[in-house]
Amino acid sequence: MTDLLIQHGTVVDGTGAPARVADVAIDGGRIVAVDPAIGGTGIGRTGFGRSGFDRVIDADGHLVTPGFVDIHTHFDGQATWDPILAPSSLHGVTSIVMGNCGVGFAPARTGAGDHDWLIGLLEGVEDIPGTALAEGLPWDWESFTDYLDALDRREYTIDVAAQVAHAPLRAFVMGERGANPDEHPTDDELRAMYEQTRAGIRAGALGFSTSRTYVHRTRDGAPLGTRFSSAHELIAITSALRDEGAGVMQMISDAYQSPDHEYVLAELDLMLELARAVGRPLSMTVQQQLDTPERWREMLAFAGRCRSAGLDVKAQVAPRPIGLLSGLTASVHPFMLCAAYHEVASLPLDRRVIALRDPDRRSRIVGQHGEPHEGLIGQITHRWDLLFPLTDPVDYEPAPERSVAGLAAAQGRPAAEIAYDLLLEDGGNQLLYLPLFNYVRHDLADVREMLLSDDVVLGLSDAGAHCGVICDASMPTTALALWTHRRRGEGLPLALMVHHLTQRTARQVGWHDRGVIAPGYLADINVIDLDALGARPPRIVHDLPAGGRRLMQHATGYRHTIKHGTVTFTDGEHTGALPGRLVRGPQTHLW
């Protein structure tokens, strides 16, 4: 008996090749045949007959794609207690990479002090509730190798992998000095970080990540110790990847958002020096920022020049806007600084909504809203032209007339009043969407241009992080649903978008055993009703340890998700199966 037959589906195999109707046979967790006649009336060229399968899935009229590979997540803590790893697993993702942006929970010296510092690090940088981390993390590791062993003892709905993160590595070796960006490691400390990284790569780390952005700060507001790391420090550590002949480098720098041209050139020079010295793939965060709307073009051009020079440097981009979710249940909203709001801010949601509906309080809060602040706070509280009520399914390319400013103009009312009333809808659970990146021109034409480049790789979902303000784990769903049925401009080919989500991301991290539907590859597969595919509006839930909150987002259109040949989700419901495991290092296509 062969395990599973997926019959009559429209196979989009992940390579970028055109779709074709075919059956897919799975045995022992791998694809054994892809052929139009496997499950037909005859035996077919493969020699399999319908009666020789344990289970048959009829995929007639549906897409059959490889499982999606998300290389930019922050499930580092959640993976130590949660086997489901939603929302990612609800959106067709079957493999994830953690340890991005230079933050994580290993290595970590035994002791409450180091543990508390790491919790504060992730709470500040990635908006993960510290109380949830304090209760949920088992801390059954010290070295990075120990951390991988701890993950290896667990089972999941998806495969997980991790990178060595710079910030905890620095603190592990340098102590308190490692958390200070103005402190530089000694030669002995550099050697120790090299050895720790090399041991991590040998144990199965996929690579090394670092952060160089002012945005990343600890719970106490301190910048990360990695922010000003020199090329000398970075090369000394990542030469472990060169010496092992394995591993990738991932970096977030302020180059994509800094108005300082000299600074940008210096950052790009540092990346070039790092790529040349180490000779391993490097990906850098690239987003279109409001104040530097053309910088992404410079960074993609830089990646292209690197490719021409034989260096593997890619821009890590997103297939949609990256935005904040604003609401009474979220971490931010436009009236969060108003004194009259603070008078009721601590009330339970139902009582708070009643208080906020009082005409006198409403008048006082709207009256206190005042002039905009600078920077991000000003955008959160006053960018009415970029603030949109969420629809169901969510429209991630909303038209300007649907913004709070657009609604205000149409109704002849102040925008602040419109926003206030929207926040009270659905019993105070209504969320508003504020696209801060990739939406400068109020459409996704520039993102489309990014996605057509050979020098980009999809990432930046940050799944598992920003629990009260961002929910971009649903990006894979948007990548297919929006770009293959785009309403506000030219779309993108289905085969290209599936390739972006599967083979291209898998190969970026050295995985050549997944991301393709062909004999010998892992049987990680999605069966999708493309016409029904969509992302439901995110909702706040309190299911983290200690009752911690996070944003959860479901999807429609995923008929089945299959991991290692086992059906893990059917119509969005978990089957109870946990076939996912830790993946150690690069993977080869064995057949």
Cα gap 156→548, rounded to integer Å? 21
Query: Of the candidates 324, 320, 336, 338, which has an alpha carbon nearest to the alpha carbon of residue 458?
Result: 320
- Please name the amino acid found at residue 72: H
Instruction: Say if CB 440 and CB 296 are below 8 A apart.
Output: no
* 566 strand-pairing partners: 563
Closest C-alpha to 257, from 367, 141, 376, 350: 376
Alpha-carbon 374 to chain mean position: 28
Nearest to 338 by CA among 412, 414, 420: 420
C-alpha–C-alpha distance, residues 463 and 85, integer Å: 9
Q: What is the identity of the amino acid at 163? A: Q
pTM of the model: 0.95
Residue 78 burial (C-beta neighbours within 10 Å; 0-12, 13-18, 19+): buried
| Domain residue ranges of the chain, discontinuous segments joined by + | 2-66+526-574, 68-111+140-321+444-513, 324-437
- Using DSSP bridges, classify how beta strands 63-66 and 2-11 pair: parallel, antiparallel or unpaired: parallel
Closest-CA residue to 505 (of 67, 20, 64): 67
Q: What is the CATH number of domain 2-66+526-574?
A: 2.30.40.10
> Contact, 144 vs 98, CB < 8 A?
no
Integer CA distances (angstroms), 234 to 17, 210, 468, in order: 39, 9, 32
Start-to-end CA distance of the chain, whole Å, equals: 21
Strand-pairing partners, residue 403, are none
pLDDT value of position 371: 80
Chosen CATH of 68-111+140-321+444-513 out of 1.25.40.340, 3.20.20.140, 3.20.20.410, 3.30.565.10: 3.20.20.140
- Per-residue pLDDT of the chain (591 residues), as tens digits, is 468 999 999 999 999 999 999 999 999 999 999 999 886 543 333 444 445 788 999 999 999 999 999 999 999 999 999 999 999 999 999 999 999 999 999 999 987 678 988 888 888 887 888 999 999 999 999 999 999 999 999 999 999 999 999 999 999 999 999 999 999 999 999 999 999 999 999 999 999 999 999 888 888 888 899 999 999 999 999 999 999 999 999 999 999 999 999 999 999 999 999 999 999 999 999 999 999 999 999 999 999 999 999 999 999 999 999 999 999 999 999 999 999 999 999 999 999 999 999 999 999 999 999 887 778 899 999 999 999 999 999 999 999 999 999 999 999 999 999 999 999 999 999 999 999 999 999 999 999 999 999 999 999 999 999 888 999 999 999 999 999 999 999 999 999 999 999 999 999 999 999 999 999 999 999 999 999 999 999 999 999 999 999 999 999 999 999 999 999 999 999 999 999 999 999 999 766
Q: Give the pLDDT score at 23.
A: 97
At residue 536, the pLDDT reads 97
SS (H, E, C) 146-175: HHHHHHHCCCECCEEEECEEHHHHHHHHHH
User: Could you give the dihedral angle defined by the CA atoms of residues 405, 430, 68 and 85, in that order, rounded to the nearest 10 degrees?
Assistant: 150
